[in-house]
Structure 1
Amino acid sequence: MREYKSKNVIKWLAILLVLFIVVFVAGISIGSGSLTVDRIIPTLLGYGSFKEDFILFTVRLPRILILALAGMALAVSGTILQSVTRNDLAEPGIIGINAGAGVGITIFYLFAKADIMNFAYVMPLVGFAGALATASCIYLFSYEKGKGIHPVRLVLVGVGFAFALSGVMMILISSAERSEVDFIAQWLAGNVWGTDWPFIFAFLPWIIILFPIVFFKANVLNLLALNEPTAIGLGIHLKQERLKLLCIAVALAAAAVSVTGGIAFIGLMTPHIAKRLVGPRHQFFLPIATLTGATLLMFADTIGRSVLETATIPAGIVVALIGAPYFLYLLKSVI
């Protein structure tokens, strides 16, 4: 049985890796500037024209890398939240964590009064501070002594905080200058803006440090996904492990949305898709969810850039068009 599952995981990893590469190449080659597929490798090796070098290294490659990293981070964040809270509807965008990061980033942006490129390495930290404050409030309002976190209450409290923080964003927008409003509006729509190399270098340490911890904690996540008495009986320090993993989930989500804007539903859909493909064990479905998240976000951005000739649809809106019906389906099945 274990051998069959391992083969199944390898099969889906291979399929998703091929799909990831196809979408990655499509994201680089599709756009207003011409860069055909057969010119990507020569340009990467330094044999491209000035125009091809500019399109690849300045415009397309940093953008697609940010999308891939953000999709991975949001997928892992959603997986942690669903497992730790034992709630199939938990997701950083839906329960208000992304909104908390957005308010923190917006306040910082309005008070910094400078080119945001100068603060590429600070933005994830600012987003994390805002997201952590929001997550702490959601946790406190959702927790019931002796019973833990009630799944439906968590979603309702999170949605309430998301609406409240949206109101705060509207207040900030109304008091901002026109040029500042454009940036905030792009962030709210999930229009990927941190598409330069400094943002990639600022984002990478969060992935490099936190991903190994999550994969190392796969067995802990398996136990936390069970009921609390079972997890405690198997020797898990419930509050300690839950707090650590929640902080990691918040950090990954905040780092992602600090460069991509308010993108929701990636963390909701990818764990469910992965579980359907390879089962509920985190050792098996975490890699699948990670690849799925990256592929889905890159695909959404590519579609948004290519579906209309005269305008670009933000990746956050494309993902929402896919994810909102899925959320309603899950909501119906849970309630």
Structure 2
Amino acid sequence: MKRKPFIVFTTLVVFIVLVLLVSLQSGTFQMTPAEAFKTIIGQGSDQQELVLFEFRLPRMVLAILIGAGLAVSGAILQSLSRNDLADPGILGINAGAGFAVVLFIYLFQGSYQNLGGSVYILPMFAFLGALTAAALIYSLAYKNGITPVRLVLVGIGINAGFSALLIIMQLRMSPNDFMQATVWLSGNIWGANWSSVLAILPWIAILIPLVIRQANTLNVMRIGDESAVGVGISLERSRLLLLFLAVALAGASVAAGGAIAFLGLVAPHIARRIVGPRHQIMIPTAALIGSLILLFADYIARNMLAPSEIPVGIVVAIIGAPYFLYLLIKTP
């Protein structure tokens, strides 16, 4: 590994660990750094262990996994569309996943939380919803090939359509389920537990390495379709495979953390500026940056209005929206 990527990876990991340690000791139930350390090595009180290991640590780990998944999904979509404004939230993939999860909540009307294995079923529902949205986008945008502008415009239309369906579905819900769906759609990882972590972990741990294996294909496709065909890449098959991986990552992340927008847009951009466009380095960097941003955003969401919390998706939107406008102005 070259020196600069190694330094970047090490720095990001150190920042993630620092934010993780600060987050673990902060909140309504305060701990000193010494108390947090003692609890981690098994010398804390029962109350401290309960707060740290059953409430805070699963939430932190879940934020790291969701951030990585959304960031890598965004990196794939930006390379496939050759459009730096592409993002699973903007293209409507998150909205499709969100609609599927809200449909799941509606079908079981208050009993879904008691349904055995529901936390493992949700990622599959979200994946199917995201896959439906992606299939609609791809089929409607395809016209003698896929153009970046057409892909984004169709994606925005699909996003609007699923958002309308979401509103209709929410209006048919019971008040309790309506509030649950509304908070979840704002981007929320409150109430995370180790079951939630185990539900998303295989998706992230398996799919991101598969994406990295396709890094050379992404490098060539980022340049243009002619270059990809010229080096012998099966264009449509590779595009469908990569789109499938992006959809699966986005769907699993949305199922675990709700519709968190702009993270898949911002993280790949920052990674590209730091380490360059080569996907072998850029994708792992984007994953680490996505994890860091979401972990920090969750820390702010928990502590800004303590003891009350705000959805982490709102904090990410506050961070990401100005950057999106900046990119929109800069893009010719």
Matched, 1:11 2:10: no
* Superposed displacement of residue 35, structure 1: 2.3
Q: Which runs of 5+ in 2 are unaligned?
A: none
Aligned residues of 1:104 and 1:129 also touching (Cα < 8 A):
yes
Alpha-carbon separation, structure 2, partners of 1:212 and 1:180: 36
Q: Deviations over 1:18-76 (max 9, x none)?
A: 11111111221111012222222321222110110111111100001100000000011
Partner of 1:325: 322
Of 96, 109, 113 in structure 1, the residue corresponding to residue 92 of structure 2 is 96
Alpha-carbon separation, structure 2, partners of 1:248 and 1:128: 10
Report the AA paired with residue 249 of structure 1.
A
Alpha-carbon separation, structure 1, partners of 2:42 and 2:7: 35
**Normalising by the residue count of structure 2, what TM-score does the alignment of the two structures yield?**
0.96
Alpha-carbon separation, structure 2, partners of 1:290 and 1:267: 10
**Normalising by the residue count of structure 1, what TM-score does the alignment of the two structures yield?**
0.95
Q: Percent identity?
A: 44
* Superposed displacement of residue 194, structure 1: 5.6
Aligned residues of 1:35 and 1:55 also touching (Cα < 8 A):
no
Partner of 2:180: 183
What does residue range 10-159 of structure 1 map to in structure 2 within 5 Å? 10-113=6-109, 114-116=111-113, 118=116, 119-145=118-144, 148-159=145-156
Aligned residues of 2:301 and 2:312 also touching (Cα < 8 A):
yes
* SS, match of residue 192 in structure 1: coil
Aligned residues of 1:193 and 1:259 also touching (Cα < 8 A):
no
Partner of 1:316: 313
Q: Deviations over 1:67-92 (max 9, x none)?
A: 00000000110011111121111110
Q: Deviations over 1:282-326 (max 9, x none)?
A: 112111111100000010111111111352121100110111111
* Superposed displacement of residue 169, structure 1: 1.1
* Superposed displacement of residue 174, structure 1: 1.0
What does residue range 165-244 of structure 1 map to in structure 2 within 5 Å? 165-193=162-190, 195-244=192-241
Q: How many residues align?
A: 329
Q: Which moved more, 1:7-16 or 1:151-160?
A: 151-160
Alpha-carbon separation, structure 1, partners of 2:160 and 2:202: 31
Q: Which moved more, 1:237-246 or 1:114-123?
A: 114-123
Report the AA paired with residue 294 of structure 2.
L
Partner of 2:243: 246
Partner of 1:271: 268
